[in-house]
Homo-oligomer: A and B are copies of this chain.
Amino acid sequence: MTDAELRVLDSLDKRRRTFVAGRDLVHQGQSNQAAYILMSGWACSYKLLADGQRQIVDFQIPGDFLGLRSVVLHISDHSIEPVTDIEVTEVHVSDLMEAFAQTPRLATAVFWAVSRDEAMVVEHLVGIGRRDAAERMAHFLLELCARLSLVGLGSKAGFACPLTQYLIADAVGLSSVHVNRVLRHLREQGFLTFRNGFVTIHDYDGLVRFADFEISYLDQIGPLLR
């Protein structure tokens, strides 16, 4: 979390809640009163299609907002599911709106958070639309690595990752079988190893080059507040 985000957090009424892995926090179509800030654990936001297929839009890690867009649009266009058991603090719409009115700087900060979120979705879109399976996977893991590193949960050497290959498949738009093959490929190329819930990166720079990973969309720290 950035300073800005912390200040938002501090100004709001806090109520801690916990949710267990696999049970949806938010359902597609539901209308929401509250958003959450994820304190520990991982979650994912996804959409289901009529034919039962699933597309995971993004994974959330500690420090991220959950369901902020749902609150603003007053209806959730997606579902949110905890990947692991999670802890969150609740943020009520009314509080948020009041905070906006009182301190425009807070509004700006949240605004920035939403925009950064959108930038990530856009990058994800580009990956699925135009990168082949291996590049896409590499890019996906590098983004996770960068985000986790920002909150002290990872480094260029690797990170703990509770995702199954099925979850990854639904995120990168591949079949789980192909995810497995691609991970093997990346391992055999000496780029990284994903085993037992750990991603170990053997060749960070090579991976960045291979995936055409451009970190700039992530590491802007609330520049409007400068």
Which residues of A are at the interface with B, using a C-beta cutoff of 8 A? Answer: 29, 47, 49-51, 53-55, 57, 68-69, 72-75, 77-78, 93, 97, 100-101, 104, 107-108, 111-112, 114-119, 121-126, 128-131, 172-173, 212, 216-217, 220, 223-224
Q: Name A72's closest neighbour in chain B (CB-CB).
A: B115
Q: A55-B129, A104-B100 are in contact. Are A212 and B50 (CB under 8 A)?
A: yes
Q: A75-B216, A104-B107, A131-B49 are in contact. Are A118 and B114 (CB under 8 A)?
A: yes
Known interface pairs A57-B126, A128-B128; 18 further A-B residue pairs with C-beta atoms within 8 A, sorted by A's residue number: A47-B126, A49-B131, A49-B212, A51-B212, A55-B130, A57-B122, A72-B115, A73-B217, A75-B220, A77-B122, A93-B224, A97-B104, A97-B108, A97-B224, A100-B107, A107-B111, A121-B121, A124-B125
Set B72, B74, B78, B104: member contacting A101, Cβ < 8 A: B104
Set B74, B118, B216: member contacting A69, Cβ < 8 A: B118
Cβ B119 vs Cβ A73 within 8 A: yes
Set B54, B115, B128: member contacting A73, Cβ < 8 A: B115
Determine how many copies of this chain the complex contains.
Answer: 2
Q: How distant is the Cα of A24 from the Cα of B108 in the complex, in angstroms?
A: 28
What residues on B are CB-neighbors of A172 within 8 Å?
Answer: 129
What residues on B are CB-neighbors of A68 within 8 Å?
Answer: 115
Determine how close the nearest CB of chain B comes to the CB of A50; give it in whole angstroms: 4
Cβ B74 vs Cβ A220 within 8 A: yes
Question: For A119, A123, A212, which residue has the most chain B Cβ atoms within 10 angstroms?
Answer: A119
